[in-house]
Structure 1
Amino acid sequence: MKKLMLTTAALALTTGFAMADTVRLGTEGAYPPYNFINDKGEVDGFERELGDELCKRASLTCEWVTNDWDSIIPNLVSGNYDVIIAGMSITDERDEVIDFTQNYTLPDPSAYLAASAGVDVKTGVIAAQTGTIQASFVAESGATLVEYATPEETVAAVRNGEADAVLADRAFLAPIADDDAALELLEQMELIGGGVGLGLRESDAELKATLDGAIQSMKDDGSLNALIDKWEIGVTF
């Protein structure tokens, strides 16, 4: 693991971005309301609106790229796109490999979705998406962690009895609970991570500074809070 991380970090130092080029925004497209693919086959959601507005304010030409979550950091480093905008929480472990802008959301409470209110999340089998802050939290909590590649698979694991509950961002789980009477959000929530930011290669300091300025301008004029409220992401700044 350490060898892989060092190799990835070395690549990040050598793969750069020219500010005159088109900025490619990489997202998962499978984590509503942050990002998802709509009926037209287009990237949609909170981060689609946010990314488009940031590019407009920064006078950047941008295009959207989708990528599976489990390889989203390696493919940023290898140059398949220039920015991760995919509901990625800022953590010390990730920051060793890539760089982050300032956060564009505050930490969203992580919630448990279960088939029964009587689930003991401290000793039960808890599903989480691979490579997420929730998976790391469960692994260290004493509960039994089962990992899945996609958010949909974690919820399916609860429905079919493979897991007692799933731990994920409350903004993702709440609409599922509203639509499925057989599932419910537990009262217990966890506050983990440092909020969500844009991920960039370590070598792209100029692009980071440009996007940081655009994020700050949206915080200053209240438009970022308006987007957070619109998509019911969590608490505002």
Structure 2
Amino acid sequence: MNKLILSAAALALMAGAATADTVRMGTEGAYPPYNFIDDDGEVAGFEREVGDELCARAELTCEWVTNEWDTIIPNLVSGNYDTIIAGMSITDERDEVIDFTQNYYPPTASAYATLTEGADMMGGVIAAQTSTIQAGYVAETGATLVEFATLDDTIAAVKNGEVDGVFADKDALVPFVEEQGFMFAGDDVPLGGGIGLGVRESDTELKDKFNAAIDSMKADGSLNALLVKYFGDETAQY
């Protein structure tokens, strides 16, 4: 009986070891060009390429999982995946709940965009994605905040005349300005400490592996190459 128990324990340990190098990468899949679902139903975008390369350098196997933005932190904490790689800015408030790697996207600007020249961004009705640093910022201004589940929903609200403008990451708004008649309004607003991978506070070894991989990508220029590929020559780089 003792031998059977020991054998079962050994098998359990071996099974744990076999799966220890598989990391479930949690993303939204609805925030292009950071992350989105392509025509084949696969996660794609800047963070898919960054995440796959980080896993390769850390000798980990990535499994991609999508989750709605407004519950993405609770589902990391509860163990539904092992990281968040979803355009999530590093903030003190979030850092009280989860831990972050160093940033893989430098601190950049948020911006207002509208379809109406002269629209009042400070006192009007402004859309922002729920549970974002942009929503928190708008709530502290004189504007009326209306929160939506996704970036696309905020854009639709502007087009439908429900709101006067949208406030979001400037890089995420560029395609709408260049291709869909939107215009930037007012000054850029620097927010957050860049974008990092979120991990559970107990996963220090995983955090260290990803930090080393991010260092490697910064050092050899491959991270800058992906930043330029997805966000253009004018984007912030390392």
TM (normalized to structure 1)? 0.90
Residue deviations 1:29-71 (CA, integer Å, cap 9, x gap): 0001100001111100000000000000000011100000000
Secondary structure of the equivalent of 2:236? coil
- 2:219 aligns to what? 220
Q: Percent identity?
A: 65
- 2:116 aligns to what? 116
* 1:21 Cα deviation after fit: 4.0
- 1:3 aligns to what? none
* 1:141 Cα deviation after fit: 1.5
TM (normalized to structure 2)? 0.89
In 2, the alpha carbon distance for the partners of 1:108 and 1:68 equals 23
Secondary structure of the equivalent of 2:161? coil
- 1:236 aligns to what? 237
5+ residue gaps, structure 2: 1-15
In 2, the alpha carbon distance for the partners of 1:133 and 1:65 equals 23
- 1:39 aligns to what? 39
In 1, the alpha carbon distance for the partners of 2:216 and 2:139 equals 38
| Map 1:175-214 → 2, pairs under 5 A | 175-181=175-181, 183-214=182-213
Secondary structure of the equivalent of 1:141? coil
In 1, the alpha carbon distance for the partners of 2:88 and 2:219 equals 22
- 1:126 aligns to what? 126
| Map 1:151-190 → 2, pairs under 5 A | 151-181=151-181, 183-190=182-189
Bigger Rg, structure 1 or 2: 2
Which residue type is aligned with residue 229 of structure 1? V
- 2:143 aligns to what? 143
Q: CA RMSD in A?
A: 1.4
- 1:29 aligns to what? 29
Aligned residues: 220
- 2:12 aligns to what? none
Secondary structure of the equivalent of 1:48? helix
- 1:6 aligns to what? none
Residue deviations 1:4-27 (CA, integer Å, cap 9, x gap): xxxxxxxxxxxxx97824100000
Would the aligned equivalents of 2:121 and 2:185 in 1 still touch at CA under 8 Å?
no
In 1, the alpha carbon distance for the partners of 2:231 and 2:186 equals 18
5+ residue gaps, structure 1: 1-16
* 1:111 Cα deviation after fit: 1.4
Name whichever of 195-204 and 185-194 sits farther off.
185-194
Which residue type is aligned with residue 186 of structure 1? A
Would the aligned equivalents of 2:128 and 2:145 in 1 still touch at CA under 8 Å?
yes
Secondary structure of the equivalent of 2:201? coil
* 1:121 Cα deviation after fit: 1.2
Residue deviations 1:112-133 (CA, integer Å, cap 9, x gap): 1101120121111110000001
* 1:187 Cα deviation after fit: 4.4
Residue deviations 1:171-203 (CA, integer Å, cap 9, x gap): 11110122213x222242111111000000000
Would the aligned equivalents of 2:21 and 2:59 in 1 still touch at CA under 8 Å?
no
In 2, the alpha carbon distance for the partners of 1:139 and 1:186 equals 18
Secondary structure of the equivalent of 1:217? helix
